[in-house]
Amino acid sequence: MKVQQPNANENVQQPNANETNEGNITQSTAHPKLKSRSGVWVHFEKLINSEGSEIGRAQCVWRKKDLNCKSEGGTLGMWKHLRESCKKYPYKKDLNKEKSQRTLSFHKGSGGEDVKLTSWQFDQDTCREALVKMIIRDELPFRFVEKEGFIEFLQVVVPQFKIPSRYTIARDCYQLFISEKKKLSAFIASQCQRVSLTTDTWTSVQNLSYLCLTAHFIDFEWKMQKRILNFTVIKSHKGVNIGNAIDFCMEEWGLSKVMCITIDNASSNDSAVSQLKKSLL
């Protein structure tokens, strides 16, 4: 009978140094503790007990609120706290932009025929500004944003949009008015040399007297421009009140080079014209 001898070129497996002769028990080396690498730990501190051991909770450095931070739970809860709950977190706006996912949408061109595929990303401020413009253009009441149908519609279309209250919408409308007024004032100052004014007055069903003042001018590109400068309540349709309202508006907008003023043929406007002549001449 032939006995096969081991080949000298073959590697003979040697016993592991960590294995003992009794039962070949393997001594496993413990893994080193992993370091927290998530960026969220810049804003959280791990809590420890009196013995110096971690208790699986972390405290927000901005709001001093502690949350669960066990390894099996991940960091999603801490990111959500910074993005939604922590009012003192200074980078919440940037964080929401980073977390917002871009989507594809169809954008119709100015002509109404060309449709382009563009990327869209949710932005709270942009949606809020569009809502304010809709309230103004469609002459909707401020409480429209608190209607159940509108709230339900937005929850389906843009669920991440936080609907402002009617008081916030009222403030936003006023701020938009101030911003547009500054733009129009700069446009008139740079594109207008002489201006003509037209007025119109009427009484509402609430028995309130209104005056509307419109400016007409030709810009440097020889295009006819028309802008409403003032829409205000006046005490009555007396010539003195009309003249004072027009004079105040001209001073407010810095209109010194007025070519002509067109008014209706009401007898009360005679005194208004006389008063304006004194202020212009």
Q: How many domains are contained in the chain?
A: 3
Q: What is the pLDDT of residue 152?
A: 92
What predicted TM-score, i.e. pTM, was given to this entire model?
0.54
105: number of Cβ within 10 Å: 10
Distance CA 239, CA 246 (A): 11
Inside any domain, residue 217: yes
Beta strands 224-234 and 209-218, pairing class: antiparallel
The pLDDT tens digits of the residues spanning 107-136 come to 555 555 566 656 667 788 889 999 999 999
Strand stretches in the chain, DSSP E: 44-48, 54-60, 66-68, 102-108, 115-121, 195-203, 209-218, 224-234, 258-262
Structure tokens of 164?
Answer: 């402002």
Inside any domain, residue 70: yes
Domain span including residue 165: 102-178
The pLDDT tens digits of the residues spanning 130-156 come to 999 999 999 999 999 999 999 999 888
Please indicate, yes or no, whether residues 112 and 173 belong to a single structural domain of this protein.
Answer: yes
- Single residue among 118, 146, 178 that ends a domain in this structure: 178
